């Protein structure tokens, strides 16, 4: 395939909503629709829609063996939110538990990824080896979270002959710090590994957004006597605010679905200190066999994603109004 036309078509790949084609007046419905939509529609109905309804219903049931045995109302939700310290513990300060950890991820992971992504994008745009830097930072996006976990398992190893971080700090600390074994460090260490994995994604999106700002606008502002500071906060930041918000939404979805990194690196530990919601859902249902409770955790995940679902639908619908 030649590079030119492929590039052109790729650039046409719409990243946002697009207007659908209206039905021409007088044309009838296509009879072959079922041929195209039948199998995918059936698969989505059986493996997506039906399980969602089943899981919501199961979350209000005792749910032994995943069957509808006894209606328990909101019992699982009440137990999770008030009786399970590994899920939410507000008796300590700061609070603890899986929900709290997800909140930590949502705040620190999201803001750090966007902040560092913006810095790398701006710095890289000023040098000739821009694409090389972006490729280096983007690289972790290609690899499995499992591999990322192994990489950071090495970096965080307490043994200064294995762990890069402890080797660097060794002259100061004189002893290996167990980053992942220390309850007060583990979440920060995990978030740092997560940030390392995602900054490249933010860099690529923000770099494209920065490049799409017409240089005439920047020129005009400078000619009119705007300082670099004013240009940055008055023009550049407002013009990349939409990409930043889309990016933030994506990262928040990542946070709700976060599982592999935690499962491989710490298995939720030490103790239950680094558990997140998706980890609890897996842990309660598959090894734990607590299907009703697991279903309730899955529904909590779904509820957290509902605003984003609504945002996507609204974005799509608003594009249809001509």
Partner 1 sequence: MTAVAEEQVPARERTTSERIVRFLNKTPIHVALGIIALIWLAPTIGLFVTSFRPRSDIQVTGWWESFLQFRFTLANYSEVLSGQGMLQAFINTLLIAVPSTLIPVALASMAAYAFSWLHFPFRDGLFLLVVALLMIPVQVAFIPLLKLFAPTGLLNSYGAIWLTHTAFALPFGIFLLRNFFITLPRDLIEAARIDGSSTIGIFRTIVVPLSVPAIAAYGIFQFLWVWNDLLMALVFVQDGSQWPMTKAIQNLLSQYGTEWHLLAAGAFLLMAVPLIVFFSLQRYFVQGLLAGSVK
Q: Output the CA torsion 117→119→123→124 (10° steps).
A: 0
Pick the closer one to partner 1 by CB: 11 or 184: 11
Q: Residue 276 in 3-state DSSP?
A: coil
In the list 2, 21, 318, 322, the residue contacting partner 1 (rule: CB under 8 A) is: 21
131 to 170, contacts with partner 1 by CB under 8 A? 133, 135-147, 149-155, 157, 160-162, 164, 167
Task: Tell me the window of 77-85, 95-103, 182-190, 193-201 that interacts with partner 1 (CB under 8 A).
Answer: 193-201
In the list 78, 228, 234, 242, the residue contacting partner 1 (rule: CB under 8 A) is: 228
In the list 28, 73, 225, 318, the residue contacting partner 1 (rule: CB under 8 A) is: 28
Q: CB-based contacts of 103: which residues, under 8 Å, 6+ apart?
A: none
Q: Residue 198 in 3-state DSSP?
A: helix
Tell me how far apart the terminal alpha carbons of the chain are, to the nearest angstrom. 37
Q: How many residues make contact with partner 1 (CB under 8 A)?
A: 126
Query: Could you tell me which of 147, 180, 181 has the C-alpha nearest to residue 261?
Result: 147
Binding of partner 1 at residue 212 (CB under 8 A)?
Answer: no
**Spatial separation of the C-alpha atoms in residues 45 and 67, rounded to whole Å:** 20
Binding of partner 1 at residue 70 (CB under 8 A)?
Answer: no
For residue 73, the minimal CB distance to partner 1 (Å) is: 19
169 to 188, contacts with partner 1 by CB under 8 A? none
Binding of partner 1 at residue 244 (CB under 8 A)?
Answer: no
For residue 83, the minimal CB distance to partner 1 (Å) is: 21
Binding of partner 1 at residue 103 (CB under 8 A)?
Answer: no
114 to 133, contacts with partner 1 by CB under 8 A? 120, 122-127, 129, 133
Binding of partner 1 at residue 64 (CB under 8 A)?
Answer: no
* Ramachandran assignment for 21, one of left (phi > 0), alpha (psi -120 to 50 degrees), beta (any other): beta
For residue 92, the minimal CB distance to partner 1 (Å) is: 27
Pick the closer one to partner 1 by CB: 150 or 242: 150
The residue assigned the tokens 């983007």 is 138
Tokens of 143: 């690899």
Cβ proximity of 213 and 127 under 8 Å: no
For 52, 201, 317, the CA distances from 197, given in Å and listed in that order, are 30, 8, 33
Binding of partner 1 at residue 217 (CB under 8 A)?
Answer: no
Pick the closer one to partner 1 by CB: 90 or 151: 151
In the list 177, 204, 206, 276, the residue contacting partner 1 (rule: CB under 8 A) is: 204
Binding of partner 1 at residue 109 (CB under 8 A)?
Answer: no
Kindly report the backbone phi and psi dihedral angles of residue 61, in degrees, each rounded to the nearest multiple of 5, phi listed first: -120, 155
Binding of partner 1 at residue 40 (CB under 8 A)?
Answer: yes
Q: CB-based contacts of 152: which residues, under 8 Å, 6+ apart?
A: 189, 193, 196, 265
Q: How many residues would you count in the chain?
A: 322
For residue 267, the minimal CB distance to partner 1 (Å) is: 7
**Spatial separation of the C-alpha atoms in residues 156 and 162, rounded to whole Å:** 8
In the list 33, 111, 173, 230, the residue contacting partner 1 (rule: CB under 8 A) is: 33
Binding of partner 1 at residue 15 (CB under 8 A)?
Answer: yes
In the list 62, 79, 250, 270, the residue contacting partner 1 (rule: CB under 8 A) is: 250
The residue assigned the tokens 């509902």 is 306
């Amino acid at each position: 395939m030649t590079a030119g036309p492929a590039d052109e078509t790729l650039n046409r790949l719409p990243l946002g909503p697009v207007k659908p084609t209206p039905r021409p007046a007088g044309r009838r419905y296509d009879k072959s629709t079922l041929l195209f939509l039948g199998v995918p529609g059936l698969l989505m109905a059986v493996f997506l829609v039906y399980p969602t309804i089943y899981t919501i219903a199961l979350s209000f049931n005792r749910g032994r063996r995943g069957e509808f045995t006894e209606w328990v109302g909101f019992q699982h939700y009440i137990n999770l939110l008030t009786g399970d310290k590994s899920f939410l513990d507000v008796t300590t300060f700061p609070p603890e538990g899986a929900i709290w950890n997800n909140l930590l991820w949502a705040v620190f992971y999201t803001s750090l990824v966007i902040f560092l992504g913006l810095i790398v994008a701006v710095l890289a745009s000023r040098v000739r080896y821009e694409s090389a830097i972006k490729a280096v930072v983007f690289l972790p996006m290609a690899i499995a979270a499992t591999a990322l976990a192994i990489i950071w398992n090495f970096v965080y190893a307490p043994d200064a002959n294995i762990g890069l971080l402890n080797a660097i700090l060794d002259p100061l600390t004189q002893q290996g710090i167990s980053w992942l074994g220390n309850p007060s460090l583990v979440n920060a260490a995990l978030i740092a590994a997560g940030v390392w994995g995602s900054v490249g994604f933010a860099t690529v999106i923000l770099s494209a957004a920065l490049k799409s700002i017409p240089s005439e606008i920047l020129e005009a502002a400078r000619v009119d006597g705007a300082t670099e500071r004013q240009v940055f906060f008055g023009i550049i930041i407002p013009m990349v605010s939409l990409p930043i918000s889309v990016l933030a939404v994506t990262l928040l979805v990542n946070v709700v679905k976060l599982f592999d990194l935690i499962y491989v690196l710490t298995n939720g530990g030490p103790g239950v200190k680094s558990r997140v919601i998706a980890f609890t859902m897996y842990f309660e249902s598959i090894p734990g066999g607590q299907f009703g409770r697991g279903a309730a955790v899955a529904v909590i995940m779904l509820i957290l994603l509902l605003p984003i679902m609504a945002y996507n639908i609204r974005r799509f619908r608003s594009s249809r109004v001509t």
